[in-house]
Structure 1
Amino acid sequence: MTSAFRITFIIGSVIWLLGEVYLLTNVDLPEGLLIGAALGLGGLLIGAAASQLLRKIPSQPGDGLGPSVPNPTLNMRALFDESPSALVLFRVHDGMILDVNTMAAQHYGQTRDELRGRNIIDLDLPPTIRDYDTPMGNPTRQQVRRAGGELRNIEVTVKPIPWVGPSLRYAIIQDVTPDAKRASHLAAMVAAAMDGIIQINSNQQITLVNTAAEELFGYPAVQLIGQPLEMLIPESSRSRHNIHIREFIQSGITARRHKNPPILTARRSDGATIPVEISLTTTHTDHQQITTAIVRDASDRLQHEREQQVLVEFTSALRSTTNSVDLATTLTDQISTRLLVPHLVLLLCDEQSGGVQIVCARGAWAKLGDQADQAAALELCLSHSDPSDDTAPAILNTKDVMITSIVLSVHQQHIGVLWVGRGEAFSPSDRRLLTSLAEVGASALRRAQWSERLEQANIALREAYDATIAGWARALDLRDRETEDHSRRVAELTVALARQIGVPAPEIEHLRRGALLHDIGKMGVPDAILNKTGPLTDEERAVIQRHPTDAYHILAPIAYLSPALDIPLAHHERWDGSGYPAGLRGEDIPFAARIFAVVDVWDALTNDRPYREAWDTERALGYLQEHAGKLFDPQVVHAFTTLVGKG
């Protein structure tokens, strides 16, 4: 409640108070002490005067204090008793306790009467609080033992009583045991942390160093505390560190934790530099700002990043090669370059033969590759039968060469062994990188081997298909005495014409198969019609003209021959639409069929038939040129004329 108070002292002094004012009167004290808490003025006012001389004077009109305010009932004893802090009033000259509040009695586990009249020293309070020259207002911490023997941590703040002078003081006692326990627990956590933890004050001086930081920087904590942070920073990196910390402090952010924090450089006690990553937090105390740095050695992170980059480049280099022999060369080139190993032997297992082959040997071991010695290869493999034994076989013994090896495995199946050697020892990171490169290389080699075996199987299958196709064509030629060996001739000439025109190689193979099988539909034509020497009837001609469609139905279910169907189905179509079976015209006719149509007619004209003799080249070319743009694609005829002219 806001009120105006006029306080008159025995000596005649008068003061006015305006604010939230509460008075605590201890009428039991012989001195008639008044304990007043003027909260609006921010502190306790304790004065010495007779209670009857203190009068609350309401404001009067014209006195400048504003309208009259009601007189509050001042329960001074209640406020003193209910204070959340323990309060102890004592005389300075003898330390006698004049009064305590309820919280103080609870704190010490005794009654208020038991505490009154005792000496302040009995409460385990600092003896210096009675000294006249002791600074007041700053809290001190210490341990006290309660009546039951329990140890507690307290914080004591001593205040003067201005109205009395230096003869009386009061102590405000706070139980900070929970805070102390939390602080102790936090200190234990900091000490046990795996990362280095360093605190610095606003003057960039080190105030805390944990065990991990001691180990990281090589200094004991006692040598670092109180020293400037620059002690841990190489001179060349100090400006960057200072900018990093200054920007953080100025940002107003209380914590900065990066997923991938920037790499900074720190200095150890021996002068060596180490890469570190740092996360920062900041807190504010009453007097200064405290910045906490969590510091981690970034050497492993940098090494990991370098290894990952090497693996990316290594994998990219291997992707450029698919042949297993070339791949083995690329693999050894890369490992030799990445690990600086001039001496190297790569052995691969042959699944089909069950043997082992030296596929690459370099440096001091190059002669092993020249010899291609199976016995040497077996010795090198057997020497690595125990992966934990890195003892080099006698065949590799070379003066001043450090040797190590790695098994090449894919899905727990050994496919080879790699031995490498150089002048300096292999570090754990070198071994780790070698293992990673070997794993990637082994997978690439196995894929290349499987791809080659699959390609070999495909080649064998294609050869089997082609042999079957050639057999079918030969059987057709033997059935039709007039066209004996016709299929082979037109297939060869079709391939030559396709190359002359510039047809891609994969498509030419399909043209060849289509040419061989172009008349397979005649399997459904009766021999009486197929071998008839006289003119055909309309019905017989209709049967003959069904053979392209029959060929399609025979071959379409065979997926392997699907790209070759154009010639068997459409080789009797004509440029002007007069052909069969669909009457296609112009470029609606598949290009392969247009090529074959020219070759088929050419072969028929230039070979004997029972009803006529073979035409000569000039007459046959004249026929094709005469019907170019009518029966045949003119561009194909032109290309064929060029081809025949070359022949």
Structure 2
Amino acid sequence: MLSPLKVLIVEDSDLDAELMILRLENEGFHLQPTRVQTKEAFLTALSTDLDLILSDWSLPQFSGLDALKLMKKQGFDLPFIIISGSIGEEAALEALRLGAYDYLLKDRPDRLGQSVRNALEQKQLQVKNRETQEALAASEAELRALFASMQDLVLVLDHEGNYLKIAPTNLALLANPPEKLIGFNLDTVFSPQQSIEYKRIIKKVLLTKQSESIEFSLNVHGENKWFSTTISPMTSDSVIWVERDVTERKKAETSVHLQSAALNAAENAIQITDPNGIIEWVNPAFTKLTGYGVNEAIGKNPKDIIRSGMHSEEYYEGIWDLIQSGKSYHGEVINRRKDGSIYYEDTSITPLKDVEGKITHFITIKQDITKRKNEEKALKDSEERYRALFKDNQSVILLINPDLGTIEDANPSAARFYGWSVEEMRGLKISQINVVSENEVISEMHKTLTEKKNFFTRQHRLRNGTIRDVEIYSGSIELEDKTLLYALVNDITDRKIAETSLRDNVFRQERIVALSAALTSTVDLNVIFQTVEHYLRQMIHYDAFAFTLLDEKVIHAEYISHHGHEIDTNMLPSREIDADIEDCGRTIAIKTKKTFIGEKFTWQDCVSNDLILGFEEIMKSGMYIPMLADGKVIGTLDILSVEENKYQEKDTQWIDIVANLIALNIQNAKLFNHATRQLADLAALHAIDTAVTTSHSKDEIFRVLLEQSALRLGVDAACILLLDQNTQTLNYAYGYGFSSPTIQNLKVKMGESYAGKVALEKKSLTLLDFSRLEKIEWLEHDGFVNEFNAYICTPLIMENEIIGVLEIFHRSKLNPDPEWYHFLELITGQTAIAVSHLQLFQDIQTANIDLLKAYDATIEGWSQAMDLRDKETEGHTLRVTSLALDLARKLGIDENELIHYRRGALLHDIGKLGVPDHILHKPGPLTDDEWIIMKKHPIFAFHMLNDIDYLKPALDIPYCHHEKWDGSGYPRQLQGEQIPVAARIFSIVDVWDALTSDRPYRSAWKKDKVFDYLQSESGKYFDPMIVPVFLSMIK
């Protein structure tokens, strides 16, 4: 049963007190009430055990506020509820401020029960909170005492890793002083990577409410320390961080780890036994050596698992007695593996003692020497077999003393190879057969002994001085307690020669392919020659190199190179090939179509083969390689050397391919150049034909003819001399390329000088070297002998009649070929045609001029006839013609057009010949019908002149000179620029002359009046652009 609620009621009204009790009991409270009305009674009741106080606000001798203050003053903290009939708001707030839990109005008894429950619950919470605080205070006191005794470092951090608190425990472990940590982040102590990781762990601890442990090293006051740290949740937003210094532990662990790693990594087997010989520890090498695993070995005595039985019991007892006495043992022991196989080991056993000198353990170190023991036995067994093998072996074998550098022994095969007897080779210095220096030989022997280098490629010298390439397989060998070097020598000379030949062939093939590609990109013969030399020099050695090209039976040196320097071949004459001369290598190569190799050239060979031309030294040997294109020899490739016997038959195997490749490209280049030359020649001829057919200017035709001739023939100068039939003299007509104008005065009589003789005999003359010529007076006189080196003169013939000569000059040596002469022949013919054409044109032009003069005389006759018919206008035609021409010139009319203006002006009234005399000479005004006839005279002029071709350009004035600018003229009412310019010019001149001349029906006007009239008619009768020009001209 629950204890009753002890309630103190401060109330002066019995009814109100009863109602409060009744209300609470109805709401389920079990009460033990006490009622007081005075201060004294209240104080007495306070001393009893109470749970709750219910107080009226106002009593006759007391008040609820007094009761509340009195309770607080006495040190009680009970739930205090004020119940009043009326209470002001300020009073209620004051009560609550002083510690009242609630206040109620008596007219709201329904709130009483809930208010009491709330007050009691709050009281219980206050009690529990007080108890908790007391317990916490005690716990803190205990914790502080614990901290004071701890060696660990304790810190409090928030969820972001900020330092909140640092316990005063072992602050010497802090990396920074407390004042430099509180409020700062982990970033100030740890690296960014560590800080991020530790913050992650803090958040994990706060989330999982589980502690986490970490270890880290940190530099504390210059010393690297290791810490083991536990991070535990403290509040919802903070953790407690406890660091412990584990530096010494870490050092011990590292030391143990290193020792353990060293023992485990040791190549030698190690076992540790107790003082009774029982195995306590073995390393992996022990397992590898014996086959017994760790678990199989530990707890066993070695004699029970690895003893072979191949030693006596006394042997083992001797070892045991030795180590039991505290001494170490070292020796060789034969033991047995787990699989039963026997092995040899080099064994060391060392006793371990404690501080008192008592043996605690034995350490045994075992090294497997089985292989060495077997090799020693095998070596011993094989020495006799080796001796027999050494003697009978077909391979060359040497035994060398590395200390003395001498041959200790040699087998018979070595004696046969080197050319000495076995006895002679013993004691021979190895440097006597090795072409390298003695120091290099010593170095090789050292490498064989120390670096185990056992393969060399060297050159050895035989007794007869021959050098051979050899491969040497070498190594050390123990014989009769001496360390010697053996050398197996293999002769690889033939292989090396074959390898070198193969490499050379591969290289040449690559160069030939590259040469082929390079040659396809050019058609310039000189570039071809230079390209060939560039690649050929990489494939074969020579001192001189030449290309000769064959034309029928004449051969010419096209390209010569001596030690890489090109020699001018223009000074070398061509020569005929006589196939019957057998002692000329080049001739033999051309005749047989096979490469000729000259092993030893004599002086006579050099002369017959042109080997001394351009060279300061004598060629001693060489090859002449015919270049074949379509089975025909087109020339030779000459390769020459100052050494005898330089070239061999094997060189021809690839050089023939190169020569034919070159021949093909030369042939293609010559064909291309021939076609290009023909095209250029045709273009030159076409340019000349065009000039002849389109121009009537002698200078222009001759300029084109001589420029094209000099360009295509490759000469410096040329001139044309034409024959004057009356004086029989060749006169200068035109020249090109001369430095002196004196030649323009040249006159040569027929039969005199070279030009005169050519003209007289109608035969060409070619002089290619003035130094061998007779004197040419006019050339010598003008200084041309020194200027020119070559001269060619050809006759110009038309219909078997000489009309002049064409002279060609060149300042250097000229080497014309048949194509050159052929083009010269064509040019000569073209020149003759051009000269004939010009003479014919001049004749026609003279006849045409005479005819035009006759035409113009006829026109002037017609004009005069018209003036005689009309006496009043006599002289008018000539005046207006002159004036019209002057005005046309002022207006910038082309002079070539003025001839038509003149003819038109002279014939401007030719149409009046169709007007009857009675109308033309009528003294008075004309009737309308008569005017109609008169106005037809321009049409009569058109019909009279239109059928005369050379007068058609002159029709504009006779046909249109009566048209007016405004379109009111006749006969066609043309307007503005529809009227031809010639008619517009003539119309103003015609009117001017008419108005300034006397006529039967009026006197002449004064000029001022005429000026005014013409200006007034500008833009109506006359072209407004012409009027001011005419008036300016007249003034």
TM-score, normalised relative to structure 1: 0.51
Q: Secondary structure at the match of 1:532?
A: coil
Cα deviation, residue 406, structure 1? 1.9
Matched, 1:370 2:370: no
Matched, 1:518 2:908: yes
Q: 1:365 to 1:592 in 2, by over 3 A?
A: closer
Q: Secondary structure at the match of 1:502?
A: coil
How many pairs does the alignment contain? 397
Q: Secondary structure at the match of 1:603?
A: helix
Following the alignment from structure 2 to structure 1, what is the Cα–Cα distance between the partners of residues 733 and 507?
56
Matched, 1:406 2:406: no
Cα deviation, residue 582, structure 1? 2.7
Q: 1:505 to 1:232 in 2, by over 3 A?
A: farther
Q: How does 1:589-608 map to 2 (within 5 A)?
A: 589-608=979-998
| Maintained 8 Å contact 1:594/1:632 | yes
Q: 1:635 to 1:411 in 2, by over 3 A?
A: same
User: Match of 1:565, as an amino acid?
Assistant: L
Q: Secondary structure at the match of 2:849?
A: helix
Following the alignment from structure 1 to structure 2, what is the Cα–Cα distance between the partners of residues 313 and 353?
34
Q: 1:244 to 1:586 in 2, by over 3 A?
A: closer
User: Match of 1:494, as an amino acid?
Assistant: A
| Maintained 8 Å contact 1:348/1:415 | yes
Following the alignment from structure 1 to structure 2, what is the Cα–Cα distance between the partners of residues 345 and 230?
57
Cα deviation, residue 315, structure 1? 5.5
Q: Secondary structure at the match of 2:765?
A: coil
Alignment partner of 1:390 out of 741, 765, 777: 765
Q: Secondary structure at the match of 1:549?
A: helix
Following the alignment from structure 2 to structure 1, what is the Cα–Cα distance between the partners of residues 891 and 739?
54
Matched residue, 2:645: none
Q: How does 1:41-56 map to 2 (within 5 A)?
A: none
Following the alignment from structure 1 to structure 2, what is the Cα–Cα distance between the partners of residues 304 and 346?
29
Alignment partner of 1:498 out of 888, 897, 912: 888
Alignment partner of 1:627 out of 1000, 1017, 1028: 1017
Q: 1:374 to 1:336 in 2, by over 3 A?
A: same
Alignment partner of 1:418 out of 787, 806, 809: 806
Matched residue, 1:548: 938
Matched residue, 1:305: 676
Q: How does 1:467-506 map to 2 (within 5 A)?
A: 467-506=857-896
Larger Rg: 2
More off after superposition, 467-476 vs 368-377: 368-377
More off after superposition, 345-354 vs 634-643: 345-354
Cα deviation, residue 486, structure 1? 0.9
User: Match of 1:359, as an amino acid?
Assistant: A
| Maintained 8 Å contact 2:728/2:750 | no
RMSD over equivalenced CA pairs, Å: 4.7
Matched, 1:272 2:558: no
| Maintained 8 Å contact 1:511/1:564 | yes
Following the alignment from structure 1 to structure 2, what is the Cα–Cα distance between the partners of residues 575 and 491?
21
Following the alignment from structure 2 to structure 1, what is the Cα–Cα distance between the partners of residues 860 and 928?
32
Q: Which runs of 5+ in 1 are unaligned?
A: 1-226, 248-258, 280-289
Matched residue, 1:427: 816
Matched, 1:575 2:949: no
Following the alignment from structure 2 to structure 1, what is the Cα–Cα distance between the partners of residues 728 and 910?
45
Q: 1:435 to 1:455 in 2, by over 3 A?
A: same
Matched, 1:616 2:1006: yes
| Maintained 8 Å contact 1:597/1:632 | yes
User: Match of 1:241, as an amino acid?
Assistant: S
Q: 1:568 to 1:531 in 2, by over 3 A?
A: same
| Maintained 8 Å contact 2:996/2:1010 | yes
Matched, 1:358 2:748: no
| Maintained 8 Å contact 1:552/1:565 | yes
| Maintained 8 Å contact 2:910/2:941 | yes
Q: Secondary structure at the match of 1:577?
A: coil
| Structure having greater relative contact order (Cα 8 Å, sep ≥ 6) | 1
Following the alignment from structure 1 to structure 2, what is the Cα–Cα distance between the partners of residues 318 and 580?
51
Q: Which runs of 5+ in 2 are unaligned?
A: 1-503, 537-543, 549-557, 560-626, 631-656, 768-772
User: Match of 1:634, as an amino acid?
Assistant: P
Following the alignment from structure 1 to structure 2, what is the Cα–Cα distance between the partners of residues 632 and 585?
10
| Maintained 8 Å contact 1:498/1:595 | yes
Matched residue, 1:380: 755
Cα deviation, residue 562, structure 1? 0.9
| Maintained 8 Å contact 1:376/1:395 | no
Matched residue, 2:5: none
More off after superposition, 420-429 vs 600-609: 420-429
| Maintained 8 Å contact 1:572/1:580 | yes
Cα deviation, residue 469, structure 1? 1.1
Following the alignment from structure 2 to structure 1, what is the Cα–Cα distance between the partners of residues 680 and 628?
20
Q: 1:354 to 1:482 in 2, by over 3 A?
A: farther
Q: 1:511 to 1:518 in 2, by over 3 A?
A: same
Q: 1:272 to 1:523 in 2, by over 3 A?
A: same
Cα deviation, residue 509, structure 1? 2.4
User: Match of 1:380, as an amino acid?
Assistant: A
Q: Secondary structure at the match of 2:1012?
A: helix
Matched residue, 2:699: 325
Following the alignment from structure 1 to structure 2, what is the Cα–Cα distance between the partners of residues 464 and 352?
29
| Maintained 8 Å contact 1:548/1:570 | yes
Cα deviation, residue 485, structure 1? 1.3
Q: Secondary structure at the match of 2:1018?
A: coil
More off after superposition, 338-347 vs 269-278: 269-278
User: Match of 2:731, as an amino acid?
Assistant: Q
Identity across matched positions, percent:
35
Deviations 1:114-153 (A, max 9, x none): xxxxxxxxxxxxxxxxxxxxxxxxxxxxxxxxxxxxxxxx
Cα deviation, residue 554, structure 1? 1.1
Following the alignment from structure 1 to structure 2, what is the Cα–Cα distance between the partners of residues 522 and 497?
25
Following the alignment from structure 1 to structure 2, what is the Cα–Cα distance between the partners of residues 520 and 597?
15
Deviations 1:477-498 (A, max 9, x none): 1221111111111112212222
Matched residue, 1:643: 1033
User: Match of 1:419, as an amino acid?
Assistant: E
User: Match of 2:862, as an amino acid?
Assistant: W
Alignment partner of 1:529 out of 919, 923, 930: 919
Matched residue, 2:111: none
Deviations 1:459-480 (A, max 9, x none): 3332222221112111111221
Q: Secondary structure at the match of 1:383?
A: helix
Following the alignment from structure 2 to structure 1, what is the Cα–Cα distance between the partners of residues 507 and 864?
93
Deviations 1:584-642 (A, max 9, x none): 33333333222221111111011122232222222111111112222222222233223
User: Match of 2:863, as an amino acid?
Assistant: A
Q: 1:573 to 1:424 in 2, by over 3 A?
A: same
Q: 1:407 to 1:484 in 2, by over 3 A?
A: same
User: Match of 1:502, as an amino acid?
Assistant: G
Following the alignment from structure 1 to structure 2, what is the Cα–Cα distance between the partners of residues 439 and 492?
49
User: Match of 2:547, as an amino acid?
Assistant: A
Q: Secondary structure at the match of 1:541?
A: helix
TM-score, normalised relative to structure 2: 0.33
Following the alignment from structure 1 to structure 2, what is the Cα–Cα distance between the partners of residues 303 and 519?
68
